[in-house]
A and B are shown apart, each in its own frame.
Chain A
Amino acid sequence: MNIFQLIIDYASALVLPAILVGFPLYGMFKKVRVYEEFVEGAKEGFNVAVMIIPYLIAILFAIGMFRASGALDFLTDGLRPVLAFIRFPAEVIPMAIVRPLTGSGSAAIVLDMIGQYGEDSILVKMAATMFGSTETTFYVIAVYFGAVNIKKTRHAVPAGLIADVFAMLAAVYVVLWLFG
């Protein structure tokens, strides 16, 4: 039995309906004009989505170009000798680079690696741990800051990237420690 599938099934089967029903129900109990309030709030959804479009275009087109340029191969080759020094396997370098840039791209890499090395391999475990323990940093930045029109992001990018670099290294060593 897949424990996580079970948790996800229960979470989406229980938590979400509980909120969807619970919030309006509690509102009604508190004599709130629930319908009017809901519509008032939901109005914002459209504006926010439209507001983040320019930010998303800016981020995604740069990332798209970067991926299409073959830069990944160059970077993998360039980093290989440096990372070999610290026992970081070359096979997971593409995953470590792509993970903060795109979610779908990194999912494709995991799938690719499963085909190449098998689900049980330690390399796939590393890549999947990288995928599961971090987020698509640049997408999150574009959406969250775009929604409130923040252009000067200050130390958000370096903080996010430092955490990402750390997570990529940690994923390798934690998997080596647990399964190696």
Chain B
Amino acid sequence: MKEWNRLGQNRAARMDRAASLARGKLVAPGDTGALLARVIEPGDRVCIEGNNQKQADFLAKALAALDPADVRDLHIVQSVLALPSHLDVFEKGVASKLDFSFSGPQAARLARLLSSGQLRIGAIHTYLELFGRYFTDLTPRVSLVCAAAADRNGNLYTGGNTEDTPVIVEATAFRRGIVIAQVNEIVDTVPRVDIPGDWVDFVVQSPKPHYIEPLFTRDPAQISEIQVLMAMMAIKGIYAEYGVKRLNHGIGFDTAAIELLLPTYAESLGMRGRIATHWALNPHPALIPAIEAGFVESVHSFGSELGMEGYIRARPDVFFTGPDGSMRSNRALSQTAGLYACDMFIGSTLQIDLAGNSSTATLGRIAGFGGAPNMGSDARGRRHGTEPWLRAGREAGQDGFRGRKLVVQMVETFREHMAPAFVDRLDAWELAEQANLDLPPVMIYGDDVTHILTEEGIANLLLCRTPEEREQAIRGVAGYTPVGLARDKRAVENLRDRGVIRRPADIGIDPKLATRDLLAAKSMKDLVRASGGLYDPPAKFRSW
């Protein structure tokens, strides 16, 4: 007779082995290693909750401290590798295979471990793609998650940084897996229930509060005049032009400059209420002046941001908050909003090739790409019309049949140390060969990119009708890089006449007026002031 509940029986055996370590669901911090050794079996798929920000750091360290004689060959399925312990598991031989999305802080070490054969990479995913696989072929057997607080029944309160927790727990708990949570404190009653207790098997109070990274804070003092110029071009040449209301911004100074120009430059163009009203965005401090100026109607977030808690709590009409007043973020749902319900993604990159393919992969670093490939792609399943989406579709020659998402790559032609942002061949190709990846880690495919914006101009790729035109449109905004200098000047002037390339002067912008005086906040202190004292920046961003 066929056995239909092997997963349940296996789960019961694991729970039996661990039973003597727990009182109810609570396990003493000192017993964490023993708990992991008893519930994890060799070859398991394990998810360590590694978000962009909130990290299950105590459980990650405990996992890395296990003896590979007991636990080995784990397959780690984890969105973000942010901490050294996330790679220690491979160096120690506890784990051997990895499927992930983003590894920015650990990118160089990941590349070294891969080349020394200490780990194999299944694939580098976008967030939604990895989450999708949690519910198909990469369901975790054991998940180590992270929350702000738990009660004795295992109900979890995640705080503002809910991030990936709901997705991880749902995939694991409903397939008879085991969920272990580290929490900062055990309380009688949690402020709100983010994860129901009967989905959680064990709770460990971490000796130290979990690590959290202020990843989205950019000090306005570091925004350059060129970034102000490019922000003016974006606002007048794209946001106002298409009437973009629903959008996502990538992380960085380029987009922070746009956020800080909304209450000043965009206001002077009469754009309040007409652009940038609904956002899929982490609570960037740089958005405070625009919110205060009445530009922003709503913000749904992937995660939260350190220091923004008090401000968010005081602006419930703008942010998604629980009955307790604190933010409820959710990476999977905000990514879905970014994919299907935003008309534009705009963000920076490191390299763009002649077809418009864009990549942040550079030699010796395997960084992955998080959410950008998802937000920065046309959702071909989308079926609702909005003016910017329909207009982009018309420009692409899809008259009335389907629209297009605006996907804007915004780069200064040279990065720091005179590294050109435009290249004949992406480093991603060489990286794919070195790391034996199935495909080069391209962040945004050229056929999804609609506009490239540099200090030299805006190239509207929707209007290009041949690959040759597209190449000249890209060269035509590539400045003094080798790619830009090799332009066909006549072809570029022709594209300019047709409005495919638009210089600052063509959209009525005088570069000499691009000064830092246009920034609604010029320093962290200005942001605090704009928030009425509600924003409380982390110490590293304070100079006072």
Q: Do A and B bind each other?
A: no
Using a CB–CB distance below 8 Å, which chain B residues touch chain A? none
